[in-house]
């Protein structure tokens, strides 16, 4: 019996294709059928859907119900709902150490959001900014919106800069302290007061504005991938601002922290996922009206809508229960 996966078979061509089910379960692995997966539009559109290597099998956020466990698995039981970094496919098989049981009462369709929350959790673990400091998020897309929520829940004073009216309104309703269509560079009440700026848009102009907004020795963390050039800004404009404003400019690479915590490294990718799942379970991340549950059989239309920024909300969630 075949299982199913989304494959990008050519540029801008996504299909639901048959795949062979895993043939053997490892001693430390768990397996089960997928309930939901979450599309990460930035990565999946740039790397897979408009990429150059085919076939590509995208996806890195899945929730499934455990149906089988290997003989050496002791912390996961059959019937458990678990979160994983799984692809868009109808069956998941992972090492037990690479899945996280869902907190009781957390809807599985919400749990997949934890993966994108994890992108900016690394910055929370590594920043020198402290709770109560004023921080700024540039771009309220899928990652930026959740980055603002992470910072808000960690007791920072959060402002969001987002030129899109609908996304800016979503951010405003979520509880951040202020939103702007563009960085308030001419307002002394804001300029020079930012301890940390998360640049989540991948736009070089936003990165330069962030460097102009932060206080002396403020951090600008580049979370958004600069997939393409947007302006004719020069490196001199950026380096001049960094030098004269004493900016700490660094990558927001999420894999800077280890996958697992240790005695001397208590923070990790998976502790970040656990925290995200707890916040989601507690209902602290506003998601009303931001998610859409979609049929994987409509993969081509879904990716086209994401590419051309059509559709409601921020998060496209694939409901694998819709398959016959």
What is the CATH number for 61? 3.90.180.10
What are 138's strand-pairing partners?
161, 199
Residues whose CB is less than 8 angstroms from the CB of residue 72 and which lie 6 or more positions away in sequence, other chains included: 27, 28
Identify whether residues 78 and 183 lie together within a single domain: no
Identify whether residues 122 and 90 lie together within a single domain: no
Residues whose CB is less than 8 angstroms from the CB of residue 13 and which lie 6 or more positions away in sequence, other chains included: 300
Instruction: Report yes or no on 185 lying in a domain.
Output: yes
Residues whose CB is less than 8 angstroms from the CB of residue 142 and which lie 6 or more positions away in sequence, other chains included: 40, 41, 42, 116, 314, 315
The last residue of a domain, from among 203, 236, 256? 256
What are 194's strand-pairing partners?
214
Identify whether residues 240 and 295 lie together within a single domain: no
Provide the number of structural domains found in the chain: 2
Tell me how far apart the alpha carbons of residues 73 and 82 are, in angstroms, rounded to a whole number.
14
Q: What pLDDT does 22 receive?
A: 86
Instruction: Report yes or no on 238 lying in a domain.
Output: yes
Phi-psi region of 163 (alpha: psi -120 to 50; beta: other; left: phi over 0): alpha
Helix, strand, or coil (residue 40): coil
Instruction: Report yes or no on 311 lying in a domain.
Output: yes
Residue 206, Cβ density class (10 Å: 0-12 exposed, 13-18 middle, ≥19 buried):
buried
Identify whether residues 299 and 229 lie together within a single domain: no
Tell me how far apart the alpha carbons of residues 311 and 303 are, in angstroms, rounded to a whole number.
11
Q: Which helix (H) or strand (E) is 267 found in, with range?
A: none
Identify whether residues 248 and 299 lie together within a single domain: no
Residues whose CB is less than 8 angstroms from the CB of residue 324 and which lie 6 or more positions away in sequence, other chains included: none
Identify whether residues 100 and 225 lie together within a single domain: no
Write out the residue range of the structural domain in which residue 246 sits.
Answer: 117-256
Identify whether residues 102 and 143 lie together within a single domain: no
Identify whether residues 125 and 244 lie together within a single domain: yes
| pLDDT of the chain, 324 residues: tens digit per residue | 689 999 999 999 999 999 998 889 999 999 999 999 999 999 999 999 999 999 999 999 999 999 999 999 999 999 999 999 999 999 999 999 999 999 999 999 999 999 999 999 999 999 999 999 999 999 999 999 999 999 999 999 999 999 999 999 999 999 999 999 999 999 999 999 999 999 999 999 999 999 999 999 999 999 999 999 999 999 999 999 999 999 999 999 999 999 999 999 999 999 999 999 999 999 999 999 999 999 999 999 999 999 999 988 999 999 999 998
Q: What pLDDT does 283 receive?
A: 97
Identify whether residues 196 and 252 lie together within a single domain: yes
Identify whether residues 186 and 251 lie together within a single domain: yes
pTM over 0.85: yes
Instruction: Report yes or no on 268 lying in a domain.
Output: no
């Amino acid at each position: 019996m075949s299982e199913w996966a989304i494959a990008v078979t050519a540029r801008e061509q996504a299909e639901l294709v048959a795949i062979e089910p895993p043939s053997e379960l490892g001693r430390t692995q768990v397996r089960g059928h997928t309930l939901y997966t979450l599309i990460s539009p930035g990565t999946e559109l740039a790397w897979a859907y408009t990429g150059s290597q085919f076939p590509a099998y995208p996806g890195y956020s899945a929730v499934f119900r455990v149906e089988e466990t290997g003989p050496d698995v002791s912390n996961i039981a059959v019937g458990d709902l678990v979160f994983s970094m799984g692809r868009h496919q109808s069956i998941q098989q992972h090492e037990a150490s690479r899945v996280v049981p869902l907190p009781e009462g957390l809807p599985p369709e919400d749990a997949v959001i934890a993966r994108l929350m994890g992108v900016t959790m690394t910055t929370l673990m590594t920043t020198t900014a402290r709770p109560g400091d004023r921080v700024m998020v540039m771009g309220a897309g899928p990652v930026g919106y959740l980055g603002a929520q992470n910072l808000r829940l960690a007791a920072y004073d959060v402002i969001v800069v987002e030129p899109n009216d609908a996304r800016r309104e979503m951010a405003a309703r979520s509880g951040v302290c202020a939103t702007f269509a563009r960085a308030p560079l001419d307002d002394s009440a804001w300029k020079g007061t930012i301890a940390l700026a998360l640049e989540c848009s991948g736009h070089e102009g936003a990165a330069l504005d962030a460097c102009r907004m932060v206080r002396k020795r403020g951090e600008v963390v580049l979370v958004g991938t600069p997939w393409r050039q947007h302006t004719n800004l020069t490196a001199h404009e950026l380096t001049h601002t960094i030098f004269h404003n004493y900016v700490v400019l660094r990558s927001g690479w999420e894999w800077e922290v280890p996958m697992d915590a240790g005695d001397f490294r208590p923070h990790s990718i998976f502790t970040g996922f656990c925290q995200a799942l707890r916040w989601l379970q507690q209902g602290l991340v506003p998601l009303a009206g931001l998610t859409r549950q979609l049929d994987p059989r409509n993969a081509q239309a879904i990716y086209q809508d994401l590419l051309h920024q059509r559709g409601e909300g921020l998060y496209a969630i694939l409901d694998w229960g819709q398959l016959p």
